[in-house]
Chain A
Amino acid sequence: MYVKIFIIGLMLFFLGCGKPPVLNRISEKNIFGQITQMNQEKFPSTQLEFSLKWLVPPSLESLSTVEINFNTNLPKQYLLEAEIVMKEHGHGSSPIVIEYSLERNSIKLSELSFFMTGKWTLILTVKEHNQTIDQWEKDIYL
């Protein structure tokens, strides 16, 4: 009798709480669907337009690099900051290296450490005189 109760209990747990991870693997489409090139992106306030091109796409196997190409030169008083965070887990990652091109129309972000799978958010912040004047973000599924 107790064996039956135990087995029934297990089945109730199983059926009542959805598919286990091993039977509900995230699909390749979901993983890599949003980390290809992103064209015609725009900061909402400054209206700065740009595109992103992954030189080394996000993965667990290596540090990633992305190039941001602005449609116009970034004004000298503007500084760009970048970070990647996992909002659902409440943490970020190690600092990102930022390199400006001479004309300030291209910025390379390197050493992006996507150290676990899940939903990351890439956040770009434009600062002027140490004040945030604009922010753009995009979710990246790894």
Chain B
Amino acid sequence: MGKRYLFIIIFFVTNSLHAASCCGGGGSSSLIIIADNLSELSISSTFRNNIGESTSGGEGNFYPSSVKDHTYIHLLEYKSMFSEKWQTGHSLSFIQKNLSKNGKSASFNHLGDYSFALNYETVSNYSYTLWPRIFLGLRFNIPFGNNLYHSSKDLNADVVGNGYYQFGPSLILAKDGYLFSLLPTYSPAQDGIPHFFLISLSLSKSYVFDEWSVAPLTRWNFTSNKENLAKKIQNWDLGITFSYLFNTLYSLDIGYTDNTLLGKSINAPLAREVMVKINWSENL
């Protein structure tokens, strides 16, 4: 297998892991091209099963089996280079919720969020250096769905996606199959909800076996207090993605993410996710 082929596999997988967010609404996605591609298009469907909440003391409070809290997230992503160093990324989610609690049932379908990212490759990767590739960027989120505080449906069924206008910088490091990202996000005061910030810190590593590859990921998500409204939220995602590269243009990812298995979770929804994603790329 050519080195270039291997390189493409590695970075399809690591990018997919970043797109698989757990429990944060829209989650934090790096929306970045790392392989040698001019553009990338992907479509994914994620099934999220919310299975409980964590308390402020970090205890897991799991739902009884009679409770159903299911979310289907369909995500369209497009990323493209517009110069040697600069690139943009766009994503749009459509979300379906099916809930059954308290003897009530509710369903809701709606657009989730539109996210936009602008990234610049600050340091390129040369095999004779120890430096990773370093990308700096800006991210913006525009919500189409309600957040928790403006819900008007039973069981908060209309809370889809992130629900807030947000923006923030990004720092992404990539080397030898490792991908590290630091994504701080600021949510300005809006519609009576005070400002707050979020931080997402993740690390993943890809292992390649011919056309197949596997990549574990760990990610720490933190949401600050909302003054006089809500306390901080913290959780840890643990994920794994299997990827199959059909050729240099198409690949398939299957991922699993769970935020009940690693680290202390505080005031956070507990969820497990399964994702299927098809990627298409336009090679350089």
The verdict on A63 contacting B230 (CB below 8 Å), with A30-B59, A117-B52 known, is no
The B38-65 residues at the A interface (CB cut-off 8 A) are 52-56, 58-64
A76 on the B face (CB < 8 A): no
| A contact residues around B236 at 8 Å (CB) | 13, 17, 20
Chain A residues near B4 (CB-CB < 8 A): none
> In the complex the two chains form, what is the Cα distance from A116 to B267 in whole Å?
11
Q: Smallest distance from the beta carbon of A117 to chain B beta carbons, Å?
A: 4
- Nearest-neighbour CB distance to chain A for B150, whole angstroms, equals 10
Distance (whole angstroms) from the CB of A21 to the closest CB of chain B: 3
Q: B195 within 8 Å of A by Cβ?
A: no
Cβ B178 vs Cβ A61 within 8 A: no
Residue ID in chain B nearest A92 by CB atoms: B149
Q: Is B188 an interface residue (CB 8 A)?
A: no
Contact call B226/A90, Cβ cutoff below 8 A: yes
Quick check: which of A2-10, A46-54, A102-110, A128-136 contacts chain B, the rest being far away?
A2-10
Contacts between the two chains (Cβ within 8 Å), count? 123
Least CB distance, B22 to chain A, in whole angstroms: 12
Residues in A neighbouring B154, C-beta threshold 8 A: 94, 113
Residue of B67, B102, B218, B260 touching A21 (CB-CB under 8 A): B260
A88 to B63 Cα, complex, angstroms? 19
Do residues B270 and A2 form an inter-chain contact, with CB atoms below 8 A?
no
Please count how many residues in chain B sit with their CB below 8 Å of the partner chain's CB atoms.
45
A62 to B60, CA, bound (A): 21
In chain B between 126 and 178, which residues have their CB closer than 8 angstroms to a CB of chain A?
Answer: 148-149, 154-156, 176-178
Q: Is A115 an interface residue (CB 8 A)?
A: yes
Chain B nearest CB, measured from A86 CB (Å): 9
A47 to chain B minimum Cβ distance, whole angstroms, is: 30
Tell me the minimal C-beta distance from A1 to chain B in angstroms: 10
A88 with B267: CB separation less than 8 A: yes
Known: A30-B59, A63-B102, A113-B155. 8 other contacts (CB 8 A): A3-B205, A20-B60, A20-B260, A21-B59, A24-B59, A61-B67, A89-B230, A90-B230
Q: Give 4 closest A-B pairs by Cβ, nearest first.
A: A21-B60, A18-B264, A90-B230, A90-B229
Chain B residues close to A by CB (< 8 Å): 52-56, 58-64, 66-67, 101-104, 148-149, 154-156, 176-178, 203, 205, 216, 218, 220, 226, 229-231, 236, 259-265, 267, 270
